[in-house]
A and B are shown apart, each in its own frame.
Chain A
């Protein structure tokens, strides 16, 4: 039931782009994206409710393909502050559980 994220880790130079994928085996109602810096609490980035809808937050955007139960997080022109672990969280139609994925560790270097 836990969504699967890929890749597990990404290393970037400032200004480079990255894509993080999240897929589930269950029909999804929503997908959340959170970023967690080391030793801190996860912080909300965005939520996607409709199939194919894309939302944005600064230079971070995401898409949700409801039919494929997949979501992708796009980070463009990465900044040092983007470093952290990114988690997708999925909610299916029959439950209020928000189940988080395995996480993707992103490191941005100057």
Chain B
């Protein structure tokens, strides 16, 4: 158990819909990362937050947005869903800058768009 909690674990929805994925980081971790992993593909960096503020952005689509709340949990919002958005979405947390420590990954939220 990494200490990072992601909900829901599985989600099935239709094209055009909107979903919200939630992540609770390890206790004390200020930094949250979001990654997208399509079937048998690599980990694509989406976005990073540190103590409530956006710190780094990857190739995140405009249809996607995220935020980190004062209690440090984070949410990833995916809207106008397309078939290609089907993937495993991972959240990871760390204490501070990546260079200072390891990322602890949640079990992921598997999104299926039909």
The residues of A with any CB-CB pair to B shorter than 8 Å are 2, 29-30, 32, 34, 40-44, 47, 49, 87, 89, 91, 95-103
The A-B contact count (CB < 8 A) is 61
**Interface mask (B55-95 → A, CB under 8 Å = 1, otherwise 0):** 11010000000000000000000000000000000100000
Chain A residues, CB < 8 A from B55: 96
Interface size bracket, B side? 20 to 34
Contact partner, B48, options A89, A97, A103, Cβ 8 Å: A97
9 further A-B pairs in the complex, CB-CB below 8 A; given A42-B103, A42-B105, A100-B42: A29-B99, A41-B2, A47-B102, A87-B42, A96-B98, A97-B48, A100-B35, A101-B42, A102-B42
The residues of B with any CB-CB pair to A shorter than 8 Å are 2, 31, 33, 35, 42-45, 48, 50, 55-56, 58, 90, 97-99, 101-108
- Shortest Cβ gap from B40 to chain A (Å): 9
